[in-house]
Amino acid sequence: MSTNSSDHSISRRLAASLLAAAITLSTAAASFAADTIVLRVGDQKGGNRSLLEISGFAKDLPYRIEWSEFPAAAPILEALNAGALDIGYTGDLSFLSVYAVGAPIKAIGGTRSDAKTQAILVRQDSPIKSAADLKGKRLAGTRGGWGQFLIDATLEKANIKLEDATFAPLGPVDAKIALVAGSIDAWAVWEPYVSFATSRDKARVIADGDGLTPTITFIVATDNAIASKRAAVQDLVQRLNRARLWSLDHLGEYAKSTAELTKLPEDVLLSAYTAQRTSPIVIDESVVKEVQEASDRSTRYGILPKTLDVSKAVDRSFSAAAAGSN
């Protein structure tokens, strides 16, 4: 499941080719009734809404977006499951955790970030030097998502039994405080938390997700939205993909804008965006296979309650529709 710069290059070229073949956004208005089609979209501060706006792809929407802001991805998934949203976004494993319990949702698009930007951090003065030193330690991360998976995968790689370390289920804010206070020994997290912790708190990276995790963030839609608002959903996915490609060539501008919204330091965001190199993906067989491998490992780790068929958790027709418009 390794991700390298070549993978990113291939992914970006493939996404760019797909997008170039997609229908022209400016002529899509005929497919919608702007006064009746409303997409209810879940977002986080400094997330997809701001990306669309700063990139210019929020202009001339042939439908209306009703944005709802959430503090994290978990409540976005809860709102999708409850039918209160049409579209949201979340990490691959968090999505699968909710899908596994019967949520009527599908992954319809997404992005990939460099797996090294998922990392396990320790305090600057920690005696822990590598993953081999994690045995017997208290390790914090998000339950059912990237944090827990990275901890378990790192322990397994280091030939440490999962039960020989203590997992502390903490969100990023609480985990950061706990690490600084010394009440946990290590923290598994992602960007921009990694850049903030290493630059401001002088935390050290002792392991990362390279070769262990896909580091995919899925665009997720409800089955009902896919069935009843398909043209609008397709259009929004295309706009998000184009906006993401725009961001790769405007990292400084993107970081400055997001800093103003989130009040996070601009240099931290620029460091995070540069490291992540987040690019749109096409949900194809290779992506399904990669996420399936991560899903199977998650089931073995006890993160997911059962074995899943990832091909049934995704809707590849949005990628196929764009490619077919060539």
Q: Are residues 128 and 60 in the same domain?
A: no
Question: Which token pair is 145?
Answer: 């998502």
Same domain, 301 and 274: yes
Q: Which of 163, 186, 208 is the last residue of a domain?
A: 208
Same domain, residue pair 111 and 84: yes
Read off the pLDDT band of 13 (50, 70, 90): low
Domain limit, last residue, from 166, 185, 208: 208
Cα distance between residue 298 and residue 292, in whole Å: 10
User: 219 and 111: one domain?
Assistant: yes
Kindly state the average pLDDT of the residues 188-192: 97
| Structural domains of the chain, count | 2
Q: Yes or no: say if 261 and 45 are a contact pair by the CB < 8 Å rule.
A: yes
Asked if residue 177 and residue 306 are part of one domain, the reply reads no
Domain boundary, last residue among 208, 241, 269: 208
Shortest CA distance to 107 belongs to which of 244, 273, 291?
Answer: 291
Is residue 193 located within the same domain as residue 247? Answer: no
Task: Determine if the peptide bond prior to 127 is cis (ω within 30°).
Answer: no
pLDDT, tens digit, 9 for 90 and up, residues 251-293 = 999 999 999 999 999 999 999 999 999 999 999 999 999 999 9
23-30: average pLDDT: 42
- Whether 143 and 80 map to the same domain: the answer is no
Q: State the residue range of the domain holding 173.
A: 119-208
Residues 99 and 192 reside in one and the same domain:
no
Contacts with 247 (C-beta within 8 Å, 6 or more apart), sequence order: 51, 55, 254, 273, 278
CATH number, domain with residue 134: 3.40.190.10
pTM of the predicted protein model: 0.87
E strand spans, 176-233:
186-189, 204-208, 216-222
Residue-wise pLDDT tens digits, 103-153: 999 999 999 999 999 999 999 999 999 999 999 999 999 999 999 999 999
| Rounded-to-integer distance, Cα 24 and Cα 242, Å | 12
The pLDDT of 90-114, averaged and rounded, is: 97
For 6, counting Cβ atoms within 10 Å of its Cβ (0-12 exposed, 13-18 middle, 19+ buried), the class is: exposed
Residues 310 and 219 in one domain: yes
Are 108 and 246 in the same domain? yes
Same domain (yes/no): 109, 231: yes
Please state the three-class secondary structure of 223-262 as a single string: HHHHHHCHHHHHHHHHHHHHHHHHHHCCHHHHHHHHHHHH
